[in-house]
A and B are shown apart, each in its own frame.
Chain A
Amino acid sequence: MSKRSRSLEDLRTSLTELKLIYYFYRKSVSAMAGLVILVTLIFVAILAPWLSPYDPLEVDLPSRLMAPSFQHFFGTDSAGRDIFSRVLYGTRISLVAAIGIVLLGGSIGTLFGLASGYVGGRFDLLVMRVTDIFLAFPTFLLAILLAATLGPGMTTLLISVSVPLWPEYARLVRGSTLSEKNKEFIEAAVASGENSVSILFRQILPNVLSPLLVKGTIDVGFSILWAAGLSFLGLGIQPPTPEWGNMVSAGRSYMATKIWVAGFPGLAILLATLAFNLAGDGFRDALDPKLRV
């Protein structure tokens, strides 16, 4: 079989697999609900400038702290800014930050996990001991310490939440790599002279993608929570940039009478996190061969 037709064959197999995953994914109502919210959020994030009725940064003191109305769907904050527009723009920041966090932590963890599982020996031992130390730290406390050290901002947010994440990915991928590397198809690849890097990325990595996808999706949800938590504490994205966590924080002082200032941004955090959790659960069930029977 020529190389070209083999890759076509591969593509066809993976398309069938995708269809199969979608077939099982679709069976769960909650997973579909999660997916619908998730897709909506992505659209909102992309279309925020067109969907927002106001400039999210525009200060309008005469109309400060107005209750929700047809003019301002979610009301206005203490500077008279439109909360609806800010929540829409906030989707961008929260999604970009959370996805960035998972991509960063996930890729570093995956690289170390692959190498650690494949190389083995002392390197494996060293990497695993380092992950032990990281995992002994409660996630949010480590994120707080890093954020306090690096000073507030988007880069800080990305680093401080992805650092606690990477060891979890390293562990996950190492485990899968260990079980894959002794299989016959790897021996065949080694025998046919394929180099280690190519074996790691072309043979082993595709076989550990399923658990990565599940974990990655759920972790985007948690990253939204953690990032919002850091911003709430003043360690993440700073006001006036519209970020859900700092918007809830700004609404704290008005909680007694003007619940919408903190209420709507908080609802957005809940909805986004829930969507990723539901989708992640759906992927887990759809990818689990035991549940397919």
Chain B
Amino acid sequence: MGLGSYVAKRLLLAFPSILGILVMTFVISRVIPADPMKLLVSERAMDMMVGSGSAGSYQSVIDITRHRYGLDKPLYEQFILFIWLVLHGDLGVSVLTGRSVTASLLERFPATAELTIGAMIVGLVLGVPIGVVAAVRRNKPIDHISRAVAMSGASMPVFWLGLLLLYVFYFQIGLFGVGRLTEGLTPPTHITGLYVLDSLLTGNARTLVDSFSHLVLPSFTLGFFQMALISRVTRSSLLDVLSQDYVKALRARGLSERVVIYKHALRNSLIPTVTMSGLAFGSILGGAVLTETIFAWPGIGRYATDAMMSLDYQPILGSVILAVVAYLIVNLIVDLIYTVVDPRIRYS
């Protein structure tokens, strides 16, 4: 199969997944609840809104919602409406703020993207070398230490790790910070929305240092689990490669251990790491909800958590849909990278 037709096939296969996910979110949000209206118009959120003085009457909000989502119509019509709205990028309105969920999500997306990239970098930059060292020095103390670190990384509640790092580095030492920038500092000119990158592109040294120092702790918190996973995958995959015949042949030809490992074996062993990183993205998105909450990081996760506190349903639903679609797209990209790296996969 050529690369082009493989890509086309893979894209076609993504559609049923997206449709399946929409069916599932519809079932969860409209079919399972006894009264979807109560869910969509949370009384708690209404109370908060009324308290802030920005409310119309409760009844009017209910009427608008019923009409908007077709709640008085049969389920299949509701479903078609649901799909229609989602495909048009309409993820509803937050009862609490009265703002469009899509607009709020788009506004916060760069923050989450920046944090996700930071976490992925932490995971790869720490995970791969730890995995390599553990494989090369198999059953030596360093291998045992790396196993212990990986095990604790996999068992660590991300919200607790975040709080501990905050306690040590922010409250005790006074390093780094919460949020994306120190208060009062103007964000860099919007190019990508990623503060570190934008500061770099515009040559703004002050915001570069500041935004970077704010990114360190949350990235480490979120990346720690990935680091654990990636180091284990790299270790076992490298051990696998090192036991293959061609590696023995290279050694027999008198190549130095360094060349054998870093020039030949490592490259081949990194393929599972690439796949793993794509899958890891899903858990990063889940973990981002907790991490953003702790570091007051103004991303999608924080937005969803604020909505959870007031049981404001549309923003929660919208954030989840966006995250799942992002997850599917990233996995698709990883799959495509994978076929370029290892063409054999196209023929299997």
Contacts and interface: CB of A to CB of B under 8 A. Distances in A.
Contact of B171 (A136, A249, A256): A256
A259 B160 CA distance: 11
A137 B283 CA distance: 10
B320 interface: yes
A16 to B, nearest CB: 30
Interface string A228-266: 110011110000000001001101100111010011001
Interface size class of B (residues with CB under 8 A): 35 or more
B316 interface: yes
Given A138-B285, A140-B289, A232 B159 contact: yes
A140 B286 contact: yes
Contacts of A30: 147-148, 151
Interface string A22-33: 000000001000
B259 interface: no
A8 to B, nearest CB: 41
Contacts of B157: 225, 228-229, 232, 245, 248, 266, 269-270, 273
Interface string B144-164: 000110011011111110011
Interface string A135-151: 01111111011101111
Nearest to B310: A234
A141 B320 contact: yes
A281 to B, nearest CB: 8
A148 B308 contact: yes
Interface string A143-178: 011101111000000000000000000000000000
Contacts of A277: 151, 154-155
Given A137-B24, A148-B316, A252 B283 contact: no
A136 B324 contact: yes
Interface in A179-207: none
A229 B290 contact: yes
B327 A138 contact: yes
Contacts of B286: 138-141, 144
Contacts of A150: 32
A140 B155 contact: no
B151 A274 contact: yes
Interface string B269-297: 00000000000001101110110011000
Contacts of A278: 151
B320 A229 contact: no
Interface stretch (B15-23, B113-121, B130-138): B15-23
A172 B320 CA distance: 27
B64 to A, nearest CB: 21
Contacts of B24: 133-134, 137
B328 interface: yes
B203 interface: no
B182 interface: no
Contacts of B155: 221, 225, 270, 273-274, 277
A52 B343 CA distance: 61
B28 A145 contact: yes
Contact of A262 (B17, B29, B160, B323): B160
B21 A137 contact: yes
B269 to A, nearest CB: 20
A288 interface: no
A132 interface: yes
A269 B160 contact: yes
B25 interface: yes
Contacts of B282: 138-139, 141
A281 B166 CA distance: 31
A132 B156 contact: no
A144 B171 contact: no
A149 B33 contact: yes
B217 interface: no
Contact of B23 (A133, A255, A262, A281): A133
Given A233-B293, A270-B160, A145 B320 contact: yes
14 contacts: A138-B285, A138-B324, A141-B320, A141-B323, A149-B313, A150-B32, A229-B159, A232-B157, A234-B308, A266-B160, A266-B163, A270-B152, A270-B156, A281-B151
9 residue pairs, one from A and one from B, having the closest CB atoms: A140-B286, A266-B160, A133-B20, A138-B282, A273-B155, A274-B155, A256-B171, A269-B157, A148-B316
Interface of B: 16-17, 20-21, 23-25, 28-29, 32-33, 39, 147-148, 151-152, 154-160, 163-164, 166-167, 171, 282-283, 285-287, 289-290, 293-294, 304-305, 308-309, 311, 313, 316-317, 320, 323-324, 327-328
